[in-house]
A and B are shown apart, each in its own frame.
Chain A
Amino acid sequence: MNAQSAGTQLTRPSELRFLDPAILARLATIELKARAVVEGLLSGLHRSPFKGFSVEFAEYRQYLPGDDLSRIDWKVYARSDRYYVKKFEEETNVDCHLLLDVSASMGYGSGGVTKLEYGSVLAASLAYLMNRQRDAVGLTTFDDAIVTMVPPSARPSHLRSILVTLDRIGLGRRTDVSKPLHVLADGIGKRGLIVFISDLLDEPERIVNGLRHFRFRGSEVIVFHLLDPAELTFPFEHAARFRDMELGDEVMAVPSVVRREYLDALHTALDRYKRELGAEGIDYRLLDTSTPLEYALMSYLSTRGRAR
């Protein structure tokens, strides 16, 4: 399968039906959620007549007990009378670092799921998928500093550590990506894949500089910019006191008066991220938390291919 770049915003082929994140949120554990996402994605891709998406076949290897029987290349068996499974591109060794923003602003959610929950499931799903593809995956959560860090590993049992960590995370303090990003960038030994999951509610310059550091180290970077639909559209109608979830201060606003300026400021920031991150060769994906997670995974897969 080749993952096609779907641009900054993921398109939604009508043939693919994925789980509503709100429904996904009702699953008991994050492992279930991740499994549902990944399996759902892969089975969907398998059944789908959509041909524009594929994963590159790299080589064969001998069948090992426990391998998925669907991966046995029966043509090879017919020719060789031996069982060989296809080895895909993703089975090459890549260190994947999942960077999840757990600052207080990630706790916002106007619908059934907060940005943190969405990001957590996204990170879990990506970890599940990466681990399934025998990539080493690690997890780092941060706010204005590194909160937790699970080093990358390809062992199947390592996934559980990541999932447990994701299951237990809570909201942190205020957002300040600069320090954690630079610390992480300096700490990463070899080039790999950096998946940055955040609402990017910080100074754009600091974010871009921090991510540029990873690119400087040779890593591929994909940014999942998570925003709640309410943050994207500012649908409020009545005057209210808007309280900053990180700083606690309040502003009084009449939505009809401020909506235009708010959206202008938001889109200006989004355009800036798209422009500056694109200039650094960083994949930038804007996700609102009502978007099915499978689309995010599809973006990952298309980027993953470049990380060989």
Chain B
Amino acid sequence: MFGLSFLSPLFLVGAAAAAIPIAIHLFYRRAEPIVDFAAMRYLRRAPVEQSRRRRLRELVLLALRVSALVLLACAFARPYLSESVAALNGDATMVLIDTSASLSAPGRFDAARELAERAIREAPPTHAVGVMAFAHASDEIAPLSQDRAGALAAVAQLKAGAGATRYRAALRRAGDAFNGRAGRLVVITDLQQSGWDPASEGGIPDTIAVEVEDIGGPSANLAMTSLRAEGAEAVAVVHNFSPRPATEQVVFAVDDRRIGAVPLTLAPGGSAEARVPVDGYRSGALSASITDREGYLADNVRYAVLDAASAISVLAVTATGHPSEALYLERALGIAEGTGGFRFRALSGAAFSQPDAAFLGDVDVLAIVSTRGVEQRGRDRLAQFVRSGGGLLLTAGPDVEPELLRQALDGIVVTSWAARSGQALPQASGQASGQASGQASGHTLSFAPDDSRHPVFRLLGGAGTLGSVSFARAALIDAPASANVIARYSDGSPALVDERTTGGRVLVFGSDLNYRWNDFPLQPAFVPFIHETLRYLATPRTARSEYLVGDLQAVAAAMPGIVDLQGRRVAVNTDPRESDPARMLAETFQAGISRLNASAAQQARSEARQQEDSQGLWWYGLLLMVVSLAAEGVLGRRLG
């Protein structure tokens, strides 16, 4: 059903002008003289008008005049039809129940189910009741209706899934389900902190009161956060989300056949790796599992595929071509050599500029560590590589000339950088800076993700992991609005920029990766950062073999496991961020919803404007007004 709304309702005040013709009609009327006449029988044969009909026509005339004024006021008020089932259908209660992986802890979802059933039963008798389940996406499992038995039956069939928690999207979807009605939204959740992502949009109307039912959560959780094949080994990472140390045994299997078990001891809040050789397996479904019975069950197992996982080829352009000029980069990649890992090579700028470019044939990612010796041909080759879909990592190191890169990638990459005030970057002649970390002004920076959901930060578990990196020197990145700043320094300036070109992906890092301007290579986050960064850059050219629950639309991909994707086996795993049991207070959750209401109002206004623009009802209002005035003119003339 649709309701008529107005973009600028204040103009409706102008409709009061319609009182003017009414007042004239009532208080000032042109009095035609009354003439007593005898020969009426002859007059009636002429086109005369009976008084009663004339009064009717006068009323019609009045109605036309009033209509014209009202239509004019309505046209200025910019009317539009909004989809709204408003007050006509009464209030409603929607139960929004969390079915994410964090509810897989023992007893948690039973508690959630009980709270949902109670919310349904205790909803006011006049309310329509509905149920929505949410995790990474939300589903309306029982639409708003008076059928409470149906809602209860829908809740009884629910169970915890393996998706990540996304509050904002779920709240927005729940708000939309009200369709303009007022009412209550009962959110049943464990208030997991990682589910509240400020980056996404969404809002619910002010007419909906939000009630939070906290089902609590486990105080500890052991989670399989990573599983991959690195060369001849399978490497599983287990994280201890607990203030207590823990021991676990990681059981590896290929195609459901156990191939080994590795005991682990985990420090409070720490991670540990378990490795097992897989060199005898060229293909297969790899799994690694633990037996954490007190935490989330969904993240106790992780999958990976051993087949078709070729190594990512990385070519670093250095000053001389010696790998030591990209020492830490090489070491980080060396950890994951072989199938599913990386192949690393270094090349000088001069060699990169040679006529023969056969060496680029199998390169997936270029990492620019130095621009020395890169001639014009090299610059052209660089641009062509990106256009052809290759990934490019630009680092603002002491041997990198930003102006050369800007010229080489003109029209492809718009992000550039320059020296910060008080800091010097190398001249165009390729002056060796010889600068080591600590030689700068003494003021150091740290950096943190601006978008923690970016694939680069997938394994880093949030800002805390990167916060320990200290930057003695960093370039000042100029990122345009079209670029995606995914990390910032502590002074707010961009630290890492993601540029999606029409060809390959480009990441611009505002410092170096060889322990000259910062101590990043010495930090634990360096290796996963490098791995994920290069995997991200290589994605267009490599076949992705791992997805998170919710990434794929297939029903089979709703739970962790191996699924067939267009004839290729891929692994589907839980989002590692969902494994963090850190919770927020209900007040924090409610405070976040307040912001939603404001953004909902903003969004509603924006949507209203779009609806009004697309409908253009004010044109019809003006047209009707013109028609009314024309009819009034014709009728008024006939009345003499």
Contact = CB atoms under 8 A, between A and B. Distances in A.
B1 interface: no
Nearest to B51: A250
A244 B37 CA distance: 6
Nearest to B30: A239
Nearest to B41: A201
Interface string A241-256: 1111111011111100
Interface of B: 32-51, 54, 640
Contacts of A247: 40
A242 B34 CA distance: 6
Given A239-B640, A242-B35, 20 more contacts: A105-B39, A108-B38, A199-B39, A201-B40, A227-B39, A238-B32, A242-B36, A242-B48, A243-B34, A243-B35, A245-B37, A250-B34, A252-B51, A252-B54, A253-B49, A260-B46, A262-B43, A265-B42, A266-B39, A269-B42
Contacts of B39: 105, 108, 199, 201, 227, 231, 266
14 contacts: A108-B38, A115-B38, A239-B640, A241-B32, A241-B33, A242-B34, A242-B40, A242-B43, A247-B40, A252-B49, A258-B47, A262-B42, A265-B41, A266-B42
A93 B491 CA distance: 139
Interface string A216-245: 000000000001100100001011111111
Q: Give the residue among A228, A246, A262, A266 with the most B Cβ atoms within 10 A.
A: A262
Contact of B50 (A227, A238, A240, A251): A251
Contact of A265 (B46, B49, B51): B46
Contact of A228 (B35, B38, B46): B38
A251 B44 contact: yes
B36 A240 contact: no
Contacts of B46: 253, 257-262, 265
Contact of A258 (B33, B41, B48, B50): B48
B38 A199 contact: yes
Contacts of A227: 39
Chain B at the A interface: mostly helix, strand, loop or mixed? mixed
A266 B46 CA distance: 11
Given A239-B640, A269-B42, A108 B54 contact: no
Nearest to A105: B38
A266 B44 CA distance: 11
Given A239-B640, A241-B51, A242-B48, A251 B36 contact: no
Sorted from nearest, which 9 A-B pairs have the closest CB atoms? A261-B46, A258-B46, A108-B38, A105-B38, A251-B48, A239-B640, A265-B45, A265-B42, A253-B48
Q: Give the residue among B34, B54, B640 with the most A Cβ atoms within 10 A.
A: B640
Interface residues of A, number: 38
A107 B47 CA distance: 25
Contacts of A257: 46-47
A244 B34 CA distance: 10
Given A231-B39, A241-B51, A242-B40, A261 B34 contact: no
B51 A244 contact: no
B101 to A, nearest CB: 84
Contacts of B48: 242, 251-253, 258
B43 A258 contact: yes
A231 B42 CA distance: 9
B35 A236 contact: yes
B427 to A, nearest CB: 98
A83 to B, nearest CB: 52
B360 to A, nearest CB: 95
B40 A251 contact: yes
Interface in A143-173: none
A300 B591 CA distance: 112
Contacts of B50: 249-252
A238 B33 CA distance: 9
A250 B33 CA distance: 11
B45 A243 contact: no
B37 A242 contact: yes
A67 to B, nearest CB: 44
A258 B42 CA distance: 10
A213 B32 CA distance: 44
Contacts of B36: 108, 242-243, 245
A104 B34 CA distance: 17
Contacts of A251: 40, 43-44, 48-51
B37 A243 contact: yes
Contact of B32 (A108, A201, A239, A249): A239
A127 to B, nearest CB: 25
A240 B48 CA distance: 10
Contacts of B51: 241, 249-252
A258 to B, nearest CB: 4
Contacts of A228: 38
B502 to A, nearest CB: 77
Contacts of B640: 239, 254
Contacts of B47: 257-258, 261
A244 B33 CA distance: 14
B503 to A, nearest CB: 82
Contacts of A252: 32, 48-51, 54
Contacts of A245: 36-38, 40
Q: Give the residue among B32, B38, B54 with the most A Cβ atoms within 10 A.
A: B38
Interface in A98-134: 104-108, 115
Contacts of A104: 38
Contact of B34 (A201, A241, A266): A241
A240 B35 CA distance: 7
B32 A240 contact: yes
Q: Give the residue among B32, B46, B51, B54 with the most A Cβ atoms within 10 A.
A: B46
